[in-house]
Amino acid sequence: MTSLSDLPIRDDLRGREPYGAPQLHVRVELNVNENTHPVPDAVQADIMSRLQSAVSGVNRYPDREFTELRDALAGYLGHGLTRDNIWAANGSNEILQQLMQAFGGFGRTALGFAPTYSMYPLLAAGTGTGWVAGDRDDDFELTSERAVDWVRRVRPDLVLLCSPNNPTGTPLDLEVIEAVYDASDGIVVVDEAYAEFFPEGESSALTLLPGRERLVVSRTMSKAFAFAGVRLGYLAADPAIADALRLVRLPYHLSALTQAAALGALAHADEMLAMVEDIKRQRDRIATGLAELGFLVHRTSSNFVLFGEVENPRGVFEELLAEGIIIREMGIPNHLRVSAGTEAETTEFLDAMARYIERHGSPKRAASPSPVG
């Protein structure tokens, strides 16, 4: 049997590992930041009706410009945006890939700030784009001074700012984005996959778009809209950005079924987003509960919590898994990450962690006093 190493694969891809969280189906799945709330029945019914209508025309190619969907996304985002400011693809990963294809490539460089979303360097590698990982403060915060210093040293063609940062949940001040944009000559991408989970008063980078033609704000319907299985990501930017992506997108890349399902969800945005407030409450419960157990809980503006002072992350992971609960090992020493689930799922996780502490004792170090962004 031929192995990967036997194939004439590009040298820069040899030895790399593909992205992938464990796909273990257990009773409580809190490992990949999904929205564990089901799509409301009434919304499901409308989406099914739209899909049935779309199926009747699948012998024809879908709208290549997905015009109706871009109108709906612009209406959802607000901020004076129109369809000309919007682009969409099969998940925000494809959005980022298209940006790398259009503005990266061989001889060009992308800059991010580690630890951050693990797909960034993989997307860079897949498009032949050089990847530079800048660093963060010890508590995973990113200051304007540190970010600008990296930009001036690297002179990247793309800068990827994850806001809030994945896997740490760390908020990102708008001042940092402004400073990076002013210091850079390239495309600045703000990945706001978790923007709907911002605490009250936290502003989106959408407010910075006017007058900044190199700024891109990427979003997804996977998280807040409970649409992870549909694969719909999108961006807002100057219209010229969409023109650039038209040069690299595959023909008819958004299927008629994807467009119909997304339109159905957006038509019920208020109902779909009603669950967000509950998720934020569960996130805050997790942060408070873990802090009370003695863990170091990092600030988060997302739907997940990163916690440290875990002496044996693999042991915690396996003991939870034995109880039918899966969370995420992120490769950050002495840390684990858990997604906020339903109230019942959150309770199961916190009770299981309390039992773990009873068996093994509390972490040695006091927890963070302010875990929520």
Q: What is the pLDDT of residue 6?
A: 86
CATH number of 20-38+271-360: 3.90.1150.10
Number of Cα atoms under 13 Å in the Cβ half of residue 171: 19
Q: What is the pLDDT of residue 371?
A: 62
pTM exceeds cut of 0.85: yes
pLDDT at 352 over 80: yes
**pLDDT band at 55, cuts 50/70/90?**
very high
pLDDT in tens, 255-306: 999 999 999 999 999 999 989 999 999 999 999 999 999 999 999 999 999 9
247 CB-near residues (< 8 Å, 6+ apart): 102
What are the residue boundaries of the structural domains of the chain, listed by start? 20-38+271-360, 41-267
Q: Which of 179-188, 189-198, 355-364 has the lowest mean pLDDT?
A: 355-364
Specify the DSSP class assigned to residue 197: G
pLDDT in tens, 60-95: 999 999 999 999 999 999 999 999 999 999 999 999
Residue type, 242: A
CATH number of 41-267: 3.40.640.10
> For all residues of the chain together, what is the average pLDDT?
95
pLDDT at 345 over 90: yes
Q: What is the pLDDT of residue 366?
A: 44
Cα distance between residue 58 and residue 80, in whole Å: 33
Nearest to 302 by CA among 337, 269, 336: 337
Residue 215 near residue 57, CB atoms below 8 Å: no
